[in-house]
Structure 1
Amino acid sequence: MKVAVFSDVQANLPAMEEALAHIDAWGPDMVVMAGDLVNRGPDSLGCLMLFDQRRRASGWLPVNGNHEVWVLRCGVEPPVSVGERDIRRFTDFAWRQVAEHADLLRDWPDHLCLHPPGAAAWLHVTHGTMAGNRDGITPNTSDESLAGKLPEGVALFVSGHTHRPHQRRTQDMDVVNVGSVGSPFDGDPRGSYGQFTWQGGRWHSRIVRFAYDRARAERDFEDSGFLDEGGPLAHLIFREWRDARLLMGGWRRQYERLVYAGEIGLQDSIDRYLRAVEG
């Protein structure tokens, strides 16, 4: 039995197309998309329609990510302040792209469990951990901090969210973060996904890295209107993609609350943050 799991496409269609080409060449029995297919990138609609095509034609399975939840929420809840309006401009851009097809994003499960025929070696896929789809695993996450955040009775736990591919063994199970197809944060701009094979009475895990047409992806950021319409945070997201490193997390910890409260403007907060980060 062969299972492919990919995650965090983040509306990057060229990266997704290359990931799918790799997956097709490998020929898995099942494919799971582990969340954050849309948002934070230029082509949420293109990625959604491509995935839905595979879902209908080949039975590919989705898992809810925090960005699917956020996009759908922004579609029904207007911003309550100027700060929130500015912060969510890039997500409102994604919503406008997918609004007519939003039903394709609804009712995705938060978790999927499957097992090979004749064996109870469960493979559990979710976007983050059992603590929620915003709670992720990185190489710096300690085993102790994962207590209570992993399911019981499984052989293999697979997640995404943090955009950092990672493998370990803890709590009597293999734990694999498949990383990000569209925007890695580990300094390597290549996309990644996971290949999982049931063989010899156990799961074998492999993280695959792949190059794709980044020049085309950069043009998509510019030509789609994402950078113009998505506001200052769209430019920070673009820098994350370009440099393959997380920037948004640090900005959020320092400035998001202040922008929501109207104590500082969004652009000013980003300028200050980048000056501090870049020394």
Structure 2
Amino acid sequence: MLKRVAVLSDVHGVLPALEAVLDEPEVRAADRVVLTGDIAAGPQPARVLDLLTSLGDRIAWISGNADRELVEYRRGLRDGIPDPIAPWAAGQLRADHLEHLSGLPRSLCLPLQGLGKVFFCHATPRDDEEVVLVDSRLDRWREVFGELPGDVRTVVLGHTHMPFVRLAHGRLVVNPGSVGMPYGRTGAHWALLGPGVELRTTQFDIDAAIAQVTRDSSYPDIGQWADYFLRARATDADALAAFGPRDGRTDTA
């Protein structure tokens, strides 16, 4: 049984944010680092994937919808991707990157001290694009958890880029937030699991990171992209207003 797991979600191809989190002492000391999807769709996709694969078996990978979309786009299985940077990012990937991303599982279970059997996924256990939020109604949680085994008491997911911990029908639900595209406040957000749950934020030099990303990436609108996402221009209220209708609620006020 594992003692400590660091969870990194929604890196979105932002190398300086990823490097800052990987340099945290608790991350370096963790038994495993779990990536809960949306790893490469961003300004530095190849460098992010190369760094993570160099860490070997310490990294446990899960595919997100953005990872799946990169592969589908490059293989001609879709004509476009809603995220404007994603088609560009897909074009930066080598054949080995595509092969790796295409083989990633959609979920993972690990036994963790203090938390029991922990289920990791990207969005929900049944779908990589569904939305659940900290204030999603309990009926919604019952619906998306309907096929989970009864012995799963902790679920870790990402997708919405906003950190939270809550109970839903006796299960602990953890969203570590986003490493590379935070909503609501700056910094690289992640979680440390075992024996409890700690939501962490790694602060790094935002100005230097924007300069590095802008210098390194050939994405045409990289300056604007980096300023918007690394400075967390989207508030948590903005994100909740955008995501709220997608969790099935009828009252979004």
Higher helix share: 1
Match of 1:106 among 99, 102, 107: 102
Question: What residue in structure 2 maps to residue 19 of structure 1?
Answer: 21
Deviation per CA, 1:172-216: give whole Å up to 9, x if none. 11100111011111x211111111113xxxxx1111111112223
Amino acid at match of 2:231: R
Q: Matches of residues 41-80 of structure 1 in structure 2 within 5 Å? A: 41-54=42-55, 56=56, 58-77=57-76, 80=79
Q: How is 1:1-279 mapped onto 2 (pairs within 5 angstroms)?
A: 1-22=3-24, 27-39=29-41, 41-54=42-55, 56=56, 58-77=57-76, 80=79, 84=80, 90-101=85-96, 102-116=98-112, 121-150=116-145, 151-153=148-150, 154-185=152-183, 187-198=184-195, 204-228=196-220, 235=224, 239-245=228-234
Is the CA contact (8 Å cut-off) linking 1:137 and 1:177 kept in structure 2?
A: no
Alpha-carbon shift at residue 116 of structure 1 (Å): 3.9
Give per-residue Cα distances to partners, 1:88-126, cap 9 Å, x unaligned. 652222122213332221210001011148x99210000
Q: Per the alignment, in what secondary structure is the counterpart of residue 190 of structure 2? A: strand
Count of equivalent residues:
236
Q: Distance in 2 between matches of 1:248 and 1:176?
A: 18
Question: Would the alpha carbon gap of residues 168 and 105 (structure 1) be closer, same or farther in structure 2, given more than 3 Å must change?
Answer: same
Please report the TM-score for the alignment, with normalisation by the length of structure 2: 0.81
Does the 8 A contact of 1:136 with 1:160 survive in 2? no
Distance 1:89 1:129, change over 3 A: closer
Deviation at 1:35, TM superposition (A): 0.5
Cα deviation, 1:144-188, whole Å, max 9, x if unaligned, reads: 211221223211100011000000011111100111011111x21
User: Computing the radius of gyration over CA atoms, which structure comes out larger, 1 or 2?
Assistant: 1
Q: Percent identity?
A: 22
Equivalent AA in structure 1 for residue 198 of structure 2: R
Which runs of no fewer than 5 residues in structure 1 stay unpaired?
Answer: 199-203, 253-279
Deviation at 1:30, TM superposition (A): 1.6
**Distance (whole Å) between structure 1 residues aligned to residue 27 and residue 50 of structure 2:** 21
Runs of 4 or more consecutive aligned structure 1 residues displaced over 6 Å after TM superposition = 246-252
TM-score, normalising length: structure 1: 0.74
Deviation at 1:25, TM superposition (A): 5.2
Q: Which runs of 5+ in 2 are unaligned?
A: 244-253
- The question of whether the paired residues in 2 share the 8 Å contact of 1:183 and 1:240 is answered with yes
Which segment drifts farther, 210-219 or 71-80?
Answer: 71-80
Distance in 2 (alpha carbons) for counterparts of 1:195 and 1:182: 17
For residues 23 and 135 of structure 1, do their structure 2 counterparts lie closer, same or farther at Cα, with a shift above 3 Å needed? farther
Q: Distance in 2 between matches of 1:76 and 1:249?
A: 33
